[in-house]
Chains A and B, each alone.
Chain A
């Protein structure tokens, strides 16, 4: 899941080298923390949060497949 978020985030931002994803694994739920360059935050969130929502939708489809739950947190 971590790699998935990293791949999507890196494709969206101007500074792909500054994309960092940390995964905090729980028994059933994982929390993925995404950090990007300050100037790229808007690109990840998108107008009215649409980009962030799309990333979360894909994340939940991918985790449904392996019967897990994953939450994406975008760190500021």
Chain B
């Protein structure tokens, strides 16, 4: 923590000053009184100013943000991948963006490199304190993938209905499967369920035989 020393006639005045200088409320300050000060005789003789030492208490999300950025930056530096890392807190999530050379190296096959970076960042950041989800993105991959999955869901639904048989997606991770379910939830003509074991499962989309039963 960075410390600043502030003086005032009284400790209260010094705290007020500190709040103005550092632009934070009293709750956001860690305060240590160095000297209480004294009024002196009739406020004239031997008066001593009060001195305090203050530091700004970092919000846990802020320090988690720094941790995530430092961790990923160092990985990229050691892997000799030129890239910049930025992060911002959005609601309850920490959104980390890596801007690389656009080669797709950071994304990997079906996003597996990006998912690995995200998984490890989550581990490292949430080792202590409240857990906050960390999302790692590059080249807007997360959004593009989301659009693609919604697209796939609808295409497979059409195919299932046309062929009157079940169709399967490629193996997907839980977030990806969730998107398939969400995009089909308003389509009672098909039934979706997951099949497989482990992290990656396929979603099977089958036509519901409502007219024949």
Contact = CB atoms under 8 A, between A and B. Distances in A.
Max count, chain A CB within 10 A of own CB: residue among B71, B105, B106, B119: B119
B116 A4 contact: no
A15 interface: no
Contact of A4 (B79, B106, B108, B115): B79
Interface string A39-76: 00000001010110111011001101110000000000
Given A50-B199, A58-B75, A61-B105, A12 B123 contact: yes
Contact of A54 (B78, B80, B81, B119): B119
Interface string B92-129: 00000000000001101000110111011001100000
B90 interface: no
A3 B116 CA distance: 18
B120 A4 contact: no
Contacts of A50: 119, 199
B123 A62 contact: no
Interface residues of B, number: 21
B105 A54 contact: no
A48 B75 contact: no
Tell me if A's interface is mostly helix, strand, loop or mixed: helix
Given A51-B123, A65-B79, A65-B81, A58 B199 contact: no
Contacts of B120: 8, 11-12, 51, 54-55, 58
Contact of B74 (A7, A53, A55, A66): A7
A46 B52 CA distance: 46
Interface of A: 3-4, 7-8, 11-12, 46, 48, 50-51, 53-55, 57-58, 61-62, 64-66
Interface of B: 71, 74-75, 78-81, 105-106, 108, 112-113, 115-117, 119-120, 123-124, 198-199
